[in-house]
Every structure is written in C-alpha cells, then in structure tokens.
C-alpha cells in the first residue's frame, strides 16, 4: 500500500457480511473522492461462520450493484485478523460493540479499548436492509469526516 495512504480496518465476526460491505463501500467512496484512505476487513471468529458459503454474502454484492458500485471479483475468502494487521491500521472499527468487545478482549487482549465501535446488528437481531442501511449511514459519516480533514 502507498505510504501516503492510511488504512482503516473493519472487523466483524466472520468477515463475510458486515465488515466486507463496510470495506467495499468505503473503498468505492474513497476512490471516487480521491481520499488518501483505503479499507480492508477481517474477522474476529471465523469459526463461527460455518454456514457462510463463498467469499462474501450475496446480499453484499447485490447492494453494491444497486448502489452503482462495481466489485472486482473474485474476492478473497474471509480472513482472521492478526495482531500485526491491528497494529498496522491507522483506524480499526468493529461493527458491533456488544459482540466484538468481548472477542477482542479474549483473543486480542488490550485492543478492546483501542478500537472504534459502531452498533450494527447481525442477522440475528436485524434484517439485511436494516444492517446494510446502518453501515451505509456510518460510512457516509466517516467519509464526510475524512473528506473534511478529520482523522477521528
């Protein structure tokens, strides 16, 4: 990655649905606006996604298409985050604090208080529409902040 480009790392549980959508949508906006930020995504507990088929949830690709953003395929398979990846990112955003703070505490001690948290439910508590719309709103706010020179 270009040294002038800062990295945002989105985290969810399985790196299949929420964090992947956040990554793809953020990068589409960042490219369009020529921001010096790029996103990647990882999971905190890939073993919990045993029902996940393929590299990304189909609804993510459909929503990106509906929003007019192309996605270069194939995408990598879901990936577990590493300590090095956490350290390398300028910003780390977990998609749901109640779900991800305990996982960070258990698996990546010390990181639970060093990341940002959004409050985006998974399909066990929200519809796909609610989840993706929530991510879209958070990404819009994040992009607006970064476009105005915000770092936080």
| Domains in the chain, CATH or no CATH each | 6-147 (3.40.50.2300)
Give me the phi and psi of 30, to 5 degrees please.
-60, -40
pLDDT digits (tens, 9 = 90+) for 50-101: 878 889 999 999 999 999 999 999 999 999 999 999 999 999 999 999 999 9
Residue for token digits 């990295």? 7
pLDDT digits (tens, 9 = 90+) for 9-62: 999 999 999 999 999 999 999 999 999 999 999 999 999 988 788 899 999 999
Backbone Cα Rg of the chain? 14
Specify the pTM: 0.94
Is the pLDDT at 152 greater than 50, yes or no? no
pLDDT bracket for residue 128 (50, 70, 90): very high
Question: How high does pLDDT run on average in the chain?
Answer: 94
């Amino acid at each position: 990655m270009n040294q002038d480009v800062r990295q945002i790392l989105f985290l969810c549980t399985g790196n299949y649905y929420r964090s992947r959508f956040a990554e793809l949508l953020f990068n589409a906006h960042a490219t369009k606006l020529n921001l010096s930020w790029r996103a990647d995504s990882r999971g905190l507990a890939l073993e919990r996604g045993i029902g996940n088929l393929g590299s990304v949830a189909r609804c993510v690709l459909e929503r990106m298409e509906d929003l007019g953003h192309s996605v270069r395929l194939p995408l990598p398979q879901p990936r577990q985050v590493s300590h090095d990846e956490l350290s390398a990112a300028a910003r780390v955003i977990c998609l749901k604090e109640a779900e991800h703070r305990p996982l960070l505490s258990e698996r990546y001690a010390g990181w639970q208080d060093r990341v940002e948290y959004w409050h985006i439910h998974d399909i066990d508590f929200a519809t796909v529409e609610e989840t993706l719309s929530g991510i879209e709103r958070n990404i819009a706010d994040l992009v607006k902040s970064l476009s105005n020179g915000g770092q936080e």
